């Protein structure tokens, strides 16, 4: 209704309509797209680009469906360039943001790494989230993720990708203490998960 003032809850948890499903969803679980001046659809994962935004639920299936059905063209009401290369482009950008946030959290002293340190953090209840590499041995995954009851467990990163945040060759297990950077990391990791099931990370 015109003139309606958003409630406090709406301001705290803004929603956008998914181009794929037509459903309203929290924008933190979606990816924004804009049409560039040369009429090409580009992802705006940081939500900073000017122009009208088109929102899609942050999953590979949702974005692939939008592209197959040419919904960007329909929504923009003009011919725009958009093909399946957008899916991999979004995954790459989300991966970069996820790793960058992990590196920032590490520099802020919020990150533990190594099997024993992570298990210790879980045991002491001093961590809010656990990262176990998608290519970690299943026995190690059980020993880490099993005791992590009630904690967020991130499994969408390969060991060499986690290591990028540490400047080392491979990091298999890590954990994050509570904090604003941890919360931001988890939001990005959740969006990334939608574009890369654990099996696909292992095969890669």
pLDDT band at 4, cuts 50/70/90?
very low
24-64 pLDDT, tens per residue?
Answer: 999 999 999 999 999 999 999 999 999 999 999 999 999 99
Same domain, 129 and 152: yes
Same domain, 101 and 78: no
**Of the residues 25, 48, 83, which one is the last residue of a structural domain?**
83
**Residue 68 is part of a domain; what is its CATH number?**
3.30.1230.10
State the Cα–Cα distance between residues 84 and 91, nearest whole angstrom: 12
**Residue that the structure tokens 């941890």 belong to:** 182
Mean model confidence pLDDT for the chain: 90
Q: Domain range for residue 51?
A: 8-83
Q: Dump the DSSP string for 51-81.
A: S--EEEESSHHHHHHHHHTTHHHHHHTS--B
Same domain, 137 and 195: yes
102-116 pLDDT, tens per residue?
Answer: 999 999 999 999 999
Domains: count for the chain = 2
Q: What's the whole-model pTM score?
A: 0.87
pLDDT band at 11, cuts 50/70/90?
low
**Of the residues 83, 106, 122, which one is the last residue of a structural domain?**
83
What residues pair up with 97 in beta bridges, in sequence order?
none
The token pair that represents 57 in the structure block: 């639920």
Residue 103 belongs to a domain: yes
């Amino acid at each position: 209704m015109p003139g309606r003032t958003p409630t406090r809850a709406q301001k705290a948890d803004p929603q956008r309509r998914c181009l794929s499903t037509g459903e309203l969803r929290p924008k933190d679980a979606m990816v924004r797209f804009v049409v560039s001046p040369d009429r090409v659809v580009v992802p705006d994962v940081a939500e900073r680009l000017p122009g009208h935004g088109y929102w899609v639920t942050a999953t590979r299936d949702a974005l692939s469906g939008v592209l197959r059905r040419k919904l960007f063209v329909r929504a923009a009401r003009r011919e725009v360039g958009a093909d399946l290369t957008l899916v991999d482009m979004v995954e790459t950008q989300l991966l970069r943001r996820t790793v960058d946030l992990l590196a920032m959290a590490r520099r802020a002293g919020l990150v533990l790494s190594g099997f024993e340190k992570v298990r210790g953090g879980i045991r002491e209840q001093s961590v809010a989230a656990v990262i176990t590499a998608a290519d970690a041995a299943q026995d190690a995954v059980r020993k880490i993720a099993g005791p992590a009851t009630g904690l967020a467990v991130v499994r969408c990163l390969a060991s060499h990708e986690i290591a990028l945040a540490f400047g080392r060759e491979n990091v298999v297990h890590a954990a994050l203490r509570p904090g604003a950077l941890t919360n931001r990391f988890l939001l990005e990791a959740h969006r990334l998960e939608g574009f890369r099931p654990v099996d696909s990370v292992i095969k890669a």
